[in-house]
Chains A and B, each alone.
Chain A
């Protein structure tokens, strides 16, 4: 049963990836937006000033998450064209599979964008991670999990609305504030090279919120998507 659910979810995610990399409609826009944010913030600060190092974690997450919003807001557009969402609802699978599939594809797009933008950020802000790579990777995965889970749900919720692009961040950011704060704090500790027990606390907090967000989003998704069809 679980194998079948995962197989179908990966099929859905693979379909999204294949379509996106053929059309390249969305990903390049998202990538360029994240790059622009990094560049603008870099010019806003005096080179080498303490302020730039203190603000770097927040700037990084502003770039990642605001660009991520662009990706999330179009995640279901492709399903709305030609009634494909109804086509998925009519398929003999639980509606949660659609959520998992969309979550996986959104997560992959988000991580790929971050993978390409992060080296640029390191160069512009002159930051060395030294031995903190694994901690940073863990923070990135945890922040993205909460962000993408709630974002996927809200993206489905706003699919039929003309003001979708405006409404999505307004709905999403207040909900994921705890994840953003924990992500920024944890990233700051990793950048300072002093993980310690404080980092552990932030990671636990992120893990807790992720668990709640993923479970609630997956449970509510069915009702949202049936309404949206």
Chain B
């Protein structure tokens, strides 16, 4: 059996007296595309913050390839690619300059030629020397994806990537994410939009009130049934905090 790439062991997180994650235990195998669904305030973003070392869990462990990430230091983040509705791009820099900047931060020896190839693949080559503030939302999202995958991460985290996108941009993004899935990248996606989980994920988790309430594998993800089960779980658990 393949050892899990990412393991969460009884991860809890409190903000003061308020418990947000109440003991998350989860194994993610290499090549899995896991969607974490939950209402606002369920603890999805906090879970991602703990996985990405932005926050320390109050207790429990996050392990990557068997190692506790708190002991790996900053080097662990070299394995993460983070795609969010927030783009992490500087509007006053050009598309190419943004990629060059982040390539340096990640210690990637990315030649201008490689960056130009990546920009061409994403259909952004023609505007590489334009400030990012002049890009459309869809173009920015494609550049953000290029930035996040520049260093060929082992684990891709998707934080509500469809938020704020129009239909055209959302379709483009879904296509790009499908490509990640087909390339057997390990992906953890948080969303409250069920349709994207159904289309993309090989596994769906329901996170409600800081606990995983359901863990469904590919065979159990039946589109019409998923929405009903999700609503049942949310209502039984008393909904989100928000």
Contact = CB atoms under 8 A, between A and B. Distances in A.
Contacts of A18: 92-93, 97
Q: Which of B76, B88, B93, B97 has the most chain A CB atoms inside 10 A of its CB? A: B88
Given A89-B54, A90-B54, A22 B131 contact: yes
Contact of B86 (A4, A83, A91): A83
Given A82-B86, A90-B82, A226-B54, 5 more contacts: A4-B107, A81-B91, A82-B87, A90-B52, A92-B74
Interface in B92-126: 92-93, 97, 101-102, 104-107
17 contacts: A4-B107, A8-B104, A82-B87, A82-B88, A82-B89, A82-B91, A83-B86, A84-B89, A86-B82, A86-B84, A87-B82, A87-B88, A87-B89, A88-B105, A90-B54, A92-B107, A94-B73
A11 B88 contact: no
Interface in B54-93: 54-55, 73-78, 80, 82, 84, 86-93
Contact of B105 (A19, A86, A93): A93
Interface of B: 52-55, 73-78, 80, 82, 84, 86-93, 97, 101-102, 104-107, 131
Contacts of B89: 82, 84, 87
A204 interface: no
A93 B74 contact: yes
Interface in A1-44: 4, 7-8, 11, 15, 18-19, 22-23
A94 B84 contact: no
The secondary structure that dominates the A interface is helix
A80 B102 CA distance: 17
A192 interface: no
B184 to A, nearest CB: 23
A74 interface: no
B75 A229 contact: no
Nearest to B82: A90
Contacts of A226: 54-55
A11 B105 contact: yes
Contacts of A84: 88-90
